[in-house]
Chains A and B, each alone.
Chain A
Amino acid sequence: MTYLAKLLTSAALGVAVGFTALPATAETPDNILVIANRIDDITTLDPAESFEFAGADVIRNMYGKLVNFDPANLEAGYQPDLAESWDVSEDGKTITFTMREGVTFASGNPVRAEDAAFSLRRVIQLNKTPAFILTQFGFTPENINETIKVDGNTVSITTDKPYAISFVLNCLTATLGSIVDEKLVMENEKDGDLGNEWLKTNSAGSGAYVLGAWQPKESVMLNANPDFYLGAPAMERVVVRHVQESATQRLMLERGDIDVARDLTPSDVDGLDGVEGVKIMREMRGRLMYVSFNQKHPELSKPEVRQALKYLIDYEGMENSFLKNWYVTHQNFLPRTYLGAVDENPFSLNVEKAKELLASAGVENLEVTIGVREAQERLEIAQSLQNTFAQAGIKVNLEVGTGKQVLAKYRARELDIYLGAWGPDYPDPQTNAGTFAYNPDNSDEANATGLLAWRNSWDTGGLTEQTAAAVVEGDTSKREKMYHDIQATFRETAPFAIMFQQTEQAGMNENVEGLTLGGAITAISYWPVTK
């Protein structure tokens, strides 16, 4: 045999031996929390810019805020965090926060009132996507020096109207309320970008963790901040790895390669039932699944047709099959647990009634297109709609595209029907009321692409005014009642059929304790976790 042939043989043998003599997989170390999650939506870790779920998860663990949620007691609502206390002025327009003493950033710099003011002004100045959460209070780049003021150990913010205080404070618990380390950030400023470029891939907070590394679409690694003011977290390192497939996440969990799997489908959750060493945790989240009907469409704009379509959705069938334990029927735009949320779900599949309604509207041979993005559960919902709509003689074509593709059409008011999901931006009823039931100018020229009501060309028939009144109502119980009324009208008349609210099902290693995903109001918290 020649040299080459020998080489070939030995190499083939080597491969064969290497293949069979592989190490068994190890358990994850005790001081490291390993999570599998889809994190490919993270495009930035700058709190003034980040606006996606996975980014909110990371940022919540790296930054403190003026007011924040206690993971051990989410129901209690916002609590003091970097601000120890706050006072409201007589006219209800100015809130003054007193900073907590002795807290430092991970960099060692003290957390000062100046940092808080800088962080909030920075949001307004950068004016990235989430900035509207603050600008809705009348802050502009021109007036921020007057409206956001530092005085010794306090920082005060002044709004243009006397809004409900809970509304303002709830907004400050959103990701963009994170307090960044002014000194550190400004050291890394480039071309007057207020450190935006640098903060995209670095952290400058006072939270429980600091950013170790972020490999886009691969992993995020967080290292514990030993000087965290609530005490150094038990998990010295948290690694979130991007794993696309639910089945893969499940396999990794079963084999002990990860501690938590966050994107399990109902079928994989069922499969994990009874697997030793694995438990399932369920937490209601704020995300809603809805379909909306474009009011530019001559038939869809008829009230009877909108009503009929709401009776042509098999809420129960879907909830009990492919959405089992994952999405729960919920037909109102405020997620459960929100102020003013109601639990009335009057609609169910009723083909006969729908047919009557369609007949009374004189609609025959209706053919519509539903735009839906390429995601398995949405495709299944869309196909179910296609099936039930057909039972009343409505022919449905599906237009499937990537998220951005369908979204662009939706924003341009070009879709007949859109099947989408909506997650609240901050834990106040205004977050959803202000987009589902608020549309001050329905003309094409208004171009209010951020408002769902506008995207569906819906002139809200008076709900806009009611919504605007609700945000300035100082009395909480009155405010709650107002949202009940708005939703009652909305349910019947709106061109939106809200269908489901999400329940997140995370599979985790039995020994993981203390993890909260953040409920419907905030993001995940790693610092209370032990294992």
Chain B
Amino acid sequence: MTTETTNSRRKESLRDWLLTDTPTSRRHAKLASAYKSWLRLRSNHMAMFGLGILVLLGFVAAFAPWLAPYDPYAQVLSDRLLPIGSEGHLLGTDSLGRDILSRLIYGSRITLYIVTLVALIAPVAGLMVGTIAGYAGGWTDTILMRITDIFLAFPKLVLALAFVAALGAGIENAVLAISLTAWPPYARLARAETLTIRSSDFISAIRLQGAGPVRIITRHIWPLCISSLIVRVTLDMAGIILTAAGLGFLGLGAQPPSPEWGAMISEGRRFLLDHWWVATIPGLAIFTVSLAFNLLGDGLRDVLDPKDGAS
């Protein structure tokens, strides 16, 4: 009893502290504004629904060994292609008699892995190229932007395919390939932001204080670019998942027997006519997760990027 009261009191005071109109420090102000954004996001039901799905996905991925009823790799050739709702196999079995539910659960780890890695690599690479180009200007800008244009002009899936083909099939290479196709838009975005920030008064002031370009870019320009990048990344997540699934579908993503969802569709498509669930269930899983990212991204955009004015 006592502890609970203390807790709730502390929470309340924390809430007051966060919602204050008179922040006591810079960190306080930052936290406060973040908290307000969170409150706004929380009122967006669709976005919260998306977030809920993603949290669930994270939970499933983290506790896969405890949640999965079977070993995702265990084959029982005599129990192959069992339909949905079979005894002991809630979502049926695949062509080698492996439990689809268990594979789906373990597959969530791969999906999260791909998404996380790409989300770390591509925007960071784009941010570096874009800010350097934008800040330095001149020849550096021309060259970097020309390279960006070259990669932008590439047919995306073809570039990814080419890279995977060059490096060999596998998840890590698929991640690299997707990152390679994903960075140019971030570079464009970061450059555009940098151009507006560069000429602003406060940057001039900092420069007058003797800060070098590296310091200016990393300490002052990057932080300002980040919020628009985050929105963009969240909205791009679905596309990343779909590209990864596409690579898996073409046999160039995760390798068997790995339960990657795109590869599962690819394996199941041969049975589409008589055993539709083998391909449909992973398809639905991909759809759900992409949808969740889209919903969250939409919500985040409303909160962080209000000028777009969507409902």
A interface residue numbers (CB < 8 A to B): 245-247, 250-251, 265, 267-268, 270-271, 314, 317-318, 320-322, 374, 376, 379-380, 382-384, 386-387, 398-402, 405
Contacts and interface: CB of A to CB of B under 8 A. Distances in A.
18 contacts: A250-B273, A251-B273, A267-B271, A267-B275, A268-B274, A314-B77, A317-B77, A321-B77, A321-B80, A322-B77, A322-B96, A380-B95, A383-B256, A387-B74, A398-B256, A398-B257, A400-B169, A400-B256
Contact of B267 (A245, A268, A376, A401): A376
Contact of A322 (B95, B255, B273): B95
B177 to A, nearest CB: 15
Contact of B270 (A376, A383, A402, A405): A376
A251 B272 CA distance: 11
B283 interface: no
A212 B251 CA distance: 35
A417 to B, nearest CB: 15
A270 to B, nearest CB: 7
A384 B274 contact: no
A400 B251 contact: yes
A398 B257 CA distance: 8
B137 interface: no
A398 B96 CA distance: 16
B65 interface: no
A322 B270 CA distance: 11
B223 to A, nearest CB: 43
A402 B165 CA distance: 9
Contacts of A374: 169, 251
Contacts of A398: 255-257
Contacts of B97: 321
B52 interface: no
A387 B76 CA distance: 10
A267 B251 contact: no
B206 to A, nearest CB: 51
Contacts of B288: none
Contacts of B269: 245, 247
A268 B273 contact: yes
User: For the complex, would chain A's binding face be called helix, strand, loop or mixed by DSSP majority?
Assistant: helix
Contact of B256 (A251, A320, A379): A379
Interface in B164-210: 165, 168-169
Given A247-B270, A374-B251, A386-B257, A320 B77 contact: yes
B113 interface: no
B75 interface: yes
Interface in B255-305: 255-257, 267, 269-275
Given A400-B169, A401-B169, A265 B77 contact: no
B17 interface: no
Contacts of B70: none
B168 A322 contact: no
A247 B267 CA distance: 12
B96 A268 contact: no
Given A374-B169, A380-B95, A400-B169, 11 more contacts: A247-B272, A268-B273, A271-B274, A317-B78, A321-B80, A379-B267, A380-B96, A384-B75, A387-B74, A398-B256, A398-B257
Contacts of A400: 169, 251, 255-256
Contacts of A384: 75, 77, 96
Contacts of B151: none
Contacts of B95: 321-322, 380
Nearest to A375: B251
A382 B96 CA distance: 11
B73 interface: yes
Interface string B240-256: 00000000000100011
Contacts of A267: 81, 270-271, 274-275
Contacts of B77: 314, 317-318, 320-322, 384
Contacts of A314: 77
A387 B75 contact: yes
A518 to B, nearest CB: 25
B257 A383 contact: yes
A452 B103 CA distance: 37
Contact of A247 (B168, B251, B256, B273): B273
Contacts of A321: 77-78, 80, 95-97
Contacts of B272: 247
Contacts of B275: 267
Nearest to A372: B256
Interface string B71-107: 0011101101100000000000001110000000000
Of A246, A250, A314, A380, most B-chain CB atoms within 10 Å: A380
B250 to A, nearest CB: 9
B96 A383 contact: yes
A384 B257 CA distance: 10
Given A247-B272, A267-B271, A322-B80, A383 B75 contact: yes
A69 to B, nearest CB: 33
Contacts of A250: 273
